[in-house]
Structure formats: structure tokens, C-alpha cells
Amino acid sequence: MPTLQGNENLLRELVRNFRHLEQIPDANQIEYTRERLRLRELGQQVFGVNVNTAAAIQLTSMGFTSEQAAAIAQRRQQVPFRNTTELLSIGVVDLATFINVRDRIIAKEMMPPGQEAWSRVSTGLSYLGLGLLLLLSRYGTNTWLIFGVGLVAIAYFGVLFWLVDRWRRVAPTPILPTSSETVWVMSAYSTLTLVGLSAIFRNGDYPVMTVASLSAIAVPIPTLLLIRLYQKGRYHPLMDVSYFTEEGSLRQLRILIGRLPVIPRHEMFRERYMPILWERRWSWLNYFDFSFNNLLKFGFNDIRLRDEHLPSLLTILVWYQWSLGILYIALLLWTLSRTIPGLNLLIYFK
């Protein structure tokens, strides 16, 4: 089984040569392979058993015999193992046993417990971050995969915003969407999600893990916020007016990277921003539009939250998607820079 150790320089030179020749797909595939090997190494450091500190019962449970475990303990008392291949220098450890356990063991120097714990935590964070990069974008080598992830996120948060804004209370005076609006919203959500999932399953190496990772990021916190919001209920003024406002003075394609999702507390801005309409058939599109703007930071309509009588939990939900959008844009631009030949060469060989 290939390993990163001993092959990293070769893989790096292959990537560099392919980029010089503008063979971007080949360079990206080599780099993706290199990072997968790095992920496996990080996983071994986090979850692997250190042969320099492991008890005999741990070694035997992994596949070593009692005789081999005793020989390892005796050898490490004299000289600690510097790498796992030194196990083969022990006569009783055969090659078959080493191949069976090599992916589950590491060889590290003994450290104080606190330092050891911190080392595992920092390595675990690196393992988690690299794993997300590989699952969500194939380490910046697949544009369609990252587009699929973004489409699923836009559809998901669009439905959440519609739910919070339109499903407010049942009694004493119901504030609920019409049945036709509900059908349109769920149909749009299903269509966007299916298109996004299709892109993920067609372009991802581990699509199920990609969807699971996206769910772990996008589902728990918004779900807790929604549960808490409906538990508390809403008893504030302007209950029959949308939380979302739209600037009515201008319609044009704008980059909204510097725009925050809540309008400023100033009368001039309140005059420019008007609540989105509920009674129109197409009004549900505003929620997907806001989700798109909040994630990708550009769009035709400048839709934001109002600044008066606004539930704090809704504000947290919107800011949460806005923060994810910053990370998503960085990942998207990084992926585009690695897949567009001219831009790729400008970045890597300037």
C-alpha cells in the first residue's frame, strides 16, 4: 500500500511538472492522491497505537503474539522505536504480522500527558480540516462538486428562512402560509436539492460521506435554534410583517461581500428598505434569493433582515449562514483557481 513518507518529494515534482505543461487535471489528481495519503498519516497519528508506550495487552489485541509483544517491550526499553519499520529488526516479528498492523500503529517519542493530549487535539483538527477539504471539493480539484454542495446548502437554508418567516403561530390569530405556497416551496427545495445531490454523487469519490459532512455542518445548530424559537414563541410587535426587507431603490447585479445581513439602525436606511410581500404568488422566491445572497455574497436583489422587533435566534441563524458563506466563497475561489489553467499558472508560478 503506498505511503506519503518517502514519496512526498516525487509527488510534489510531478504536480509541478504537470502544472508547467498545463496538464491541470493530471496535476490535480496527483495532488489529490498526495493529500489522501497525508490524511491517512494524520489518521494514524490520531487513532494509532504508539508502540513505544502501548501496554502488552494492547499490542496483543492488535494482532501481535504474546512473544512478539514481550520482545517489543524489551526492545523499546533499550532504544525507543523511531519508526514502525524498525519492528522488522526484531527477529520474532514477521513481515505478515507487520503488514497486518502497520496502518494501526505509530512510533513516537514519549511525551508528558498534557503535551501528548494537545498534540493529538491539534493533529485531530488538522485531520478534520483536511478531511472536509477532500470530501467537499476533492482538495480543490472538482468545481462541480463544490457547486453541488453550495446548491444543497442554498436550498436548505432557503426553506429554513421561509419556515421561520411564514410559520409563526397557529393561535389565536394564525400566521401561516397558504397550501399552494407550501407546495411551491417544497417543490423548489426538492428540485434544487436533487440537482445538488446529483452533482455530488456524480463527482465525489465518497458522496455519502460528503453529504454526511455537509449535514454535520448545516443541520445541528439551525435545528437547535428552530426548536428553541418555537418553544419560546413570538410575542413582539410587527408580527404580521415579514422579517426580511428588500431595497426598493435599485435592481442590478451587485457583489455583496461587504454587506452585512441586517440593515443599519438608521432612518434613512429604513426608508429605502421595504418588507418583502407575502401575498404575491412568487413571494416565496425571496427566501431562496436571500439564502443565495447570504451564502455567495452577490445577487440582483439586496434582501436583508429588518432591525426592529427581530427574534435574536433568527439573527443567529442568518449570521451562521453568512459565516459559512465566507468559508464557502474561500473554498470556491480556491477550487476555481486550481481548475482554470491561466489563473492556476498565475497563482502557482508568479
Tens digits of residue pLDDT in 155-214: 999 999 999 999 998 888 888 999 999 999 999 999 999 999 999 999 999 999 999 999
176, 299: one domain:
yes
Does 224 fall in a domain? Answer: yes
147, 127: one domain:
no
C-beta separation of 73 from 90 below 8 A: no
Single pTM value for the model: 0.88
Residue 26 burial (10 A CB sphere; 0-12, 13-18, 19+)? middle
Grid cell digits, residue 56: 502488552
Give the closest residue to 205 by CA, choosing from 112, 139, 281.
139
Q: At what angle do helices 312-339 and 113-137 cross, to 10 degrees?
A: 70
**Domain-ending residue, one of 102, 132, 162:** 132
Give the model's pLDDT for residue 341: 67
Does 43 fall in a domain? Answer: yes
Across 298-326, average pLDDT: 92
- Quote the number of domains for the chain: 2
* 3-state SS assignment for residue 299: strand
Tens digits of residue pLDDT in 74-127: 888 888 888 888 888 888 888 888 888 888 888 887 777 777 778 888 989 999
Between 4 and 218, where is the model more confident? 218
Give the closest residue to 164 by CA, choosing from 96, 256, 227.
227
191, 76: one domain:
no
Residue 214 burial (10 A CB sphere; 0-12, 13-18, 19+)? buried
**Domain-ending residue, one of 93, 109, 132:** 132
Q: Is the predicted pLDDT of residue 56 greater than 90, yes or no?
A: no
Report DSSP state, residue 25: H
Does 100 fall in a domain? Answer: yes
290, 325: one domain:
yes
Share of the chain above pLDDT 70, in %: 95
Which stretch of 215-224, 235-244, 317-326 has the lowest confidence by average pLDDT?
A: 235-244
Does 2 fall in a domain? Answer: no
Q: How is 140-205 classified by DSSP, letter by letter?
A: TT-HHHHHHHHHHHHHHHHHHHHHHHH--B-SSS-B---HHHHHHHHHHHHHHHHHHHHHHHHH-S
Report DSSP state, residue 109: -
125, 146: one domain:
no
Across 226-252, average pLDDT: 88
Could you give the strand order of the β-sheet that contains 244-247, starting from the edge strand earlier in sequence?
273-275, 244-247, 303-305
How far apart CA 34 and CA 53 sit, in angstroms, is: 29
**Domain-ending residue, one of 100, 132, 164:** 132
Give the model's pLDDT for residue 344: 54
Q: Is the predicted pLDDT of residue 54 greater than 80, yes or no?
A: yes
Q: What is the dihedral of CA 132, 333, 24, 150, to 10 degrees?
A: 50
Does 3 fall in a domain? Answer: no
113, 169: one domain:
no
Provide the mean pLDDT of the chain.
Answer: 88
Which residues form the domain of 232?
142-348
Q: What residues form DSSP beta bridges with 303?
A: 246
Give the model's pLDDT for residue 328: 95
Q: At what angle do helices 179-203 and 207-218 cross, to 10 degrees?
A: 130
Give the closest residue to 219 by CA, choosing from 156, 169, 177, 164.
156
Across 207-235, average pLDDT: 95
Across 20-45, average pLDDT: 88
201, 245: one domain:
yes
Grid cell digits, residue 166: 411564514
C-beta separation of 32 from 138 below 8 A: yes
For cell 443565495, the residue is 292
Cα–chain center distance at 108: 31
C-beta separation of 162 from 287 below 8 A: yes
Longest dimension (CA), the chain: 84
Q: Which amino acid is at 35?
A: E
Residue 350: pLDDT band (50, 70, 90) is very low
